[in-house]
Amino acid sequence: MAIGAGGIRPCSLAFGADQLSDPTNPRNERTLQTFFSWYYASIGISVIVSALAIVAIQDQFGWVIGFGVPVALMVLSAVLFLIGSPAYVRVPGDSTLLTSFGRVVVGAWRNRGLTVPPRDSDRWVCGQESKLVRPTDKWRYIYI
pLDDT digits (tens, 9 = 90+) for 49-92: 888 999 999 999 999 999 999 899 989 999 999 999 899 988 88
> pTM above the 0.75 mark?
no
Evaluate the CA torsion angle 42, 45, 48, 51 in order and state its sign. Answer: negative
**What is the pLDDT at residue 122?**
63
Angle at which helix 2-20 crosses helix 28-61, to 10 degrees, equals 140
Instruction: Kindly tell me if the per-residue pLDDT of 143 is higher than 60.
Output: no
Q: What is the pLDDT of residues 39-52, one digit of tens each?
A: 999 989 988 988 89
Most confident of the following: 4-18, 76-90, 99-113: 76-90
> Distance between CA 76 and CA 59 in Å, rounded?
24
**What is the pLDDT at residue 37?**
94
The answer to whether 19 touches 26, Cβ cutoff 8 Å, is no
One-letter amino acid at 38 equals W
> Distance between CA 114 and CA 144 in Å, rounded?
9
Q: What is the pLDDT of residues 108-138, one digit of tens each?
A: 888 877 776 666 666 666 556 666 665 666 6
